[in-house]
Structure 1
């Protein structure tokens, strides 16, 4: 009788095969896990991006009073309410008279500005201040207000600032304007926080005056911001 020799199933060859199989399974599990983790991370990353974008959104509402010279050099006054909606680099400023009728809507971006007046076609220009001056008789320094409303100097140009004993800015002179801060709110008590979790300065009243004009042709803007 011929006897067949059976190889040891746990011999070196089999152990090597099992080792290769285990290594392949480990790599497959690792790849699967990485795919699952990356799939889970995508919504989280989207949420973080959305949160970062949302933190750049700012809105204000309040009242304004403007004293300005008309085309004949006569002093005029305009009063009303305003709303300010800032989304990343775009700003929408709405001006309404005391009865709530729209006086003007300004949409400004770093590259363009559009002014909408009642019953008129929208007007577009690269400089929102010049556009408002030509259309309304007075400008609103939208580019600077993005920072001045936060009690900050705009970063694009030189500014002279005055601070109080607490280090809070009380006056800014920049881009031909003088901004005086008349009243502040306690942002911490109001629960207002910025993107870093700190408590920013909450401006409640501010006066703006365009420098370089004589007293016979004043241009003054007073803003009262709602809490």
Structure 2
């Protein structure tokens, strides 16, 4: 009987110690959480605001977008605030095609130059493949993973990124909600600022 009572006391003490440890072990603070793992296949929807220089004047555009990304391809739809499709963009490893409503498709080797010629501002699709998930290639060539506590970086191709707001992704880890991207004007490159808000994370 004594042995049985002693065993019960040991089990009870162990259980209490375990529950106490669980109760006092703090969860990872949101500010210290790391960005969710990168995925090759994502589908996103959100809003886009663009400030760019055109013939010495500052122009501003805003609207919505959808983003469908697979391993090597990206499909983008740019939508006006009234819900009309402004342009659809299809990017593959070999070329980019942009189609505006009522116009013939235009194709080029890279999307940056194609959108600059067609829309008046360049859409950095290769960068956005990373940025939309909280990643980038930093100025030193190293892979950068953002977090709520480490949210600003200058990329290798001259973009200043700030991951302003975050939201919970599918795996419960933080993913970007708002991204501000600014490119300073240099020789042959116009100043450009993007504000991206992701309403439906993939």
- So what's the TM-score if we normalise by structure 1? 0.63
| Matched position secondary structure for 1:133 | helix
Structure 2 CA distance for partners of 1:172 and 1:160, relative to 1, 3 Å: farther
**How do 1:51-66 residues align onto structure 2 when only pairs under 5 Å count?**
56-66=40-50
Gaps spanning 5+ residues in structure 1: where? 1-54, 194-198
Higher helix share: 1
1:130 aligns with 2:109: no
Q: Give the whole-Å Cα distance in 1 for the aligned partners of 2:97 and 2:192.
A: 22
After TM superposition, give the deviation of residue 102 of structure 1 in Å.
1.1
1:69 touches 1:219 (CA, 8 Å); kept in 2?
A: yes
| Matched position secondary structure for 1:181 | strand
1:179 aligns with 2:161: yes
1:144 aligns with 2:89: no
2:46 touches 2:64 (CA, 8 Å); kept in 1?
A: yes
2:163 touches 2:176 (CA, 8 Å); kept in 1?
A: yes
Q: Give the whole-Å Cα distance in 2 for the aligned partners of 1:174 and 1:151.
A: 15
Q: Which has the higher relative contact order, 1 or 2, with Cα contacts under 8 A spaced 6 or more apart? A: 2
1:205 touches 1:223 (CA, 8 Å); kept in 2?
A: yes
Structure 2 CA distance for partners of 1:162 and 1:61, relative to 1, 3 Å: closer
Structure 2 CA distance for partners of 1:200 and 1:106, relative to 1, 3 Å: farther
2:101 to 118, 132, 150: 118
State the Cα deviation string for residues 52-94 of structure 1 (Å, max 9, x = none): xxx7320110111101111x21111101000000122110011
Q: How many residues are treated as equivalent by the alignment?
A: 159
1:209 aligns with 2:172: no
1:162 touches 1:172 (CA, 8 Å); kept in 2?
A: no
Higher strand share: 2
2:48 touches 2:194 (CA, 8 Å); kept in 1?
A: yes
Aligned partner of 1:218 in structure 2 is 191
| Matched position secondary structure for 2:112 | helix
Q: Give the whole-Å Cα distance in 2 for the aligned partners of 1:204 and 1:165.
A: 11
After TM superposition, give the deviation of residue 218 of structure 1 in Å.
3.3
Gaps spanning 5+ residues in structure 2: where? 1-38
1:101 to 73, 84, 97: 84
After TM superposition, give the deviation of residue 144 of structure 1 in Å.
0.9
Regions of 4+ moved over 4 Å = 159-166
Aligned partner of 1:44 in structure 2 is none
